[in-house]
Amino acid sequence: MEPVEHKNSAAKVGFVSLGCPKALVDSERILTKLRSEGYEISPEYAGADVVVVNTCGFIDSAKEESFGAIQEAMVENGKVIVTGCLGVDEGAVREITPDVLAVTGPQQYEQVVAEVHKAAPQPHDPYTHLVPEAGLKLTPRHYSYVKISEGCNHRCKFCIIPSLRGDLVSRPIRAVLREAEKLVEAGTQELLIISQDTSAYGLDRKHAAEDWKGEQIRAHMTDLAAALGDMGVWVRLHYVYPYPHVDDVIPLMAEGKILPYLDIPFQHASPKVLKAMKRPANDAKVLERLKKWREICPEIVIRSTFVVGFPGETEEDFQYLLNWLGEAQLDRVGCFKYEAVEGAAANELPNPVPEDVKQDRWNRFMETSQRISAAKLQKRVGMEMAVIIDEISEEGAIGRTYADAPEIDGKVYLEGAQELAPGDMVMAYILEASEYDLYGHMVADEDPDDDGVDDDWDW
């Protein structure tokens, strides 16, 4: 392939980002680097000098979507660089699309950028400094994912992340805090902390402390949460495993420093299945812990994901899970039917669960979790809650309360309120609730000059 010459205009890079929030953060880093070098980012394949496809290779359906995107980019453009999780298996990519320009794995930002340089030489751009200091974001301006580590030290049997991304490598605490601070300066109202295992943050660094604004802060989830809590925006913790030290962040929630929201991917409740899955922290007395957390911080919302139909899961195991769910009363719950992932150790396990049984268990799980969710949301009716606005539709504004993470949880629909803008924080009166969403209106203030936007919000 001949490099494309660009004498007068900036080279254009088409970009497709697939996969989880972690992949999104990778995409943001690549885009930030390219923009800082003067490249233009094109929303379309046609007219782009090269297309980067950031893929997801976790489960078969994600792989199919990724292969589909690569093929589409090849047809529409023909100059394609593949990166992300699927890039770990270059042979598989080249078998289907042999003519892609390059294949790189996850987190290989420099290689992706180097390949872009080759395909569309770096233009001379005197405006580098115009790139926002916080980088270029694919999420709306008012919320941002902050990835605090890569990889994972666990070896859950259904998961291939450690073989794709390696063991845990935590970012230095100063780097994380600096990034968060820049995002807040650039307008972020909500920081979403992500990693494969947030509670393990800093373990590989032996929780080494660094100076941050005159204080020694350890590379540790508790210190990180406390320091982020001082930034004056919503801070939401994702992918937290219930290690004992998680107890230490609950008081921060009760004090209002970080959102009283914990995303804990329990995956199952039956000790036998958890052991077969080789899940971390599976011996914790979770129900007792939940009770204690709720005593300390009654507003706390727990989100989780589960897998039904893992090899060897019996009806008794499943019933255990359903009963557990009834007792745990989790607020937000997602459920997947177990799907074999190429390369996962679970594939070797005996007693696969038939598809129709998986489906039946999934249906029963969802019925139970829906009932819990609906009853919990009913209790919000009549309350006034802080809502962050995500979008404006024809009917009104759509936002979220502290209990809802973007893209995965429920929404709050506010009648009218079209004068609002994404990122506004308002107080809303909740009129109605469905299984997953809330409906209400903005709280009118007695002050006629008040625009309804809450400048001094809380939840």
Rounded-to-integer distance, Cα 220 and Cα 246, Å: 11
CB of 398 vs ligand SF4, minimal distance in Å: 31
Q: Which is nearer to ligand SF4, 108 or 199 (CB)?
A: 199
| Interface pick for ligand SF4 out of 51, 103, 161, 430 (rule CB under 6 A) | 161
CB of 28 vs ligand SF4, minimal distance in Å: 21
Q: Which is nearer to ligand SF4, 200 or 219 (CB)?
A: 200
CB of 64 vs ligand SF4, minimal distance in Å: 21
| Interface pick for ligand SF4 out of 6, 117, 141, 154 (rule CB under 6 A) | 154
The residue written with tokens 């929404």 in the block is: 411
Q: Which is nearer to ligand SF4, 62 or 119 (CB)?
A: 62
How many Cβ atoms sit within 10 Å of the Cβ of residue 171? 19
Strands (E), 117-194: 143-147, 149-150, 169-170, 190-194
Q: Which is nearer to ligand SF4, 3 or 244 (CB)?
A: 244
Number of residues that bind ligand SF4 (CB under 6 A): 10
| Interface pick for ligand SF4 out of 155, 178, 285, 371 (rule CB under 6 A) | 155
CB of 139 vs ligand SF4, minimal distance in Å: 22
CB of 261 vs ligand SF4, minimal distance in Å: 19
β-bridge partners, 51: 14, 80
Tell me how far CA of residue 168 lies from CA of 28, 171, 204, 247, in angstroms: 21, 10, 7, 22
CB of 196 vs ligand SF4, minimal distance in Å: 4
On whether the CB atoms of residues 304 and 321 are closer than 8 A, the answer is no
Rounded-to-integer distance, Cα 22 and Cα 26, Å: 7
| Interface pick for ligand SF4 out of 156, 164, 344, 377 (rule CB under 6 A) | 156
273 binds ligand SF4 (CB under 6 A): no
CB of 199 vs ligand SF4, minimal distance in Å: 10
Site for ligand SF4 in 356-385 (CB under 6 A): none
202 binds ligand SF4 (CB under 6 A): no
399 binds ligand SF4 (CB under 6 A): no
Rounded-to-integer distance, Cα 195 and Cα 57, Å: 17
263 binds ligand SF4 (CB under 6 A): no
- How do strand 169-170 and strand 102-103 relate by DSSP bridges? unpaired
Q: In the chain, helix, strand, coil percent, each to 5?
A: 35, 20, 45
123 binds ligand SF4 (CB under 6 A): no
**Residues contacting 92, CB < 8 A, separation 6+:** 86
Q: Which is nearer to ligand SF4, 168 or 224 (CB)?
A: 168
CB of 155 vs ligand SF4, minimal distance in Å: 6
**Residues contacting 86, CB < 8 A, separation 6+:** 55, 56, 57, 63, 66, 67, 92, 93
How many Cβ atoms sit within 10 Å of the Cβ of residue 423? 18
Q: Which is nearer to ligand SF4, 197 or 331 (CB)?
A: 197
Strand, helix or coil at 428?
strand
| Interface pick for ligand SF4 out of 197, 263, 331, 409 (rule CB under 6 A) | 197
178 binds ligand SF4 (CB under 6 A): no
C-alpha angle 186/190/195, rounded to 5°?
105
By CB atoms closer than 10 A (0-12, 13-18, 19+), residue 20 is middle
Specify the DSSP class assigned to residue 284.
Answer: S
307 binds ligand SF4 (CB under 6 A): no
On whether the CB atoms of residues 152 and 162 are closer than 8 A, the answer is yes
Q: Which is nearer to ligand SF4, 154 or 364 (CB)?
A: 154
23 binds ligand SF4 (CB under 6 A): no
How many Cβ atoms sit within 10 Å of the Cβ of residue 446? 5
Q: Return the range that interacts with ligand SF4 (CB under 6 A); candidates 67-75, 151-159, 251-259, 268-276.
A: 151-159
Q: Which is nearer to ligand SF4, 35 or 165 (CB)?
A: 165
Rounded-to-integer distance, Cα 149 and Cα 339, Å: 26
152 binds ligand SF4 (CB under 6 A): yes
Rounded-to-integer distance, Cα 318 and Cα 362, Å: 10
**Could you tell me the strand order of the sheet in which 80-84 lies?**
40-42, 12-17, 50-55, 80-84, 102-103
| Interface pick for ligand SF4 out of 56, 82, 159, 398 (rule CB under 6 A) | 159
Residues in contact with ligand SF4 by the rule CB under 6 A: 152, 154-156, 159, 161-162, 196-197, 280
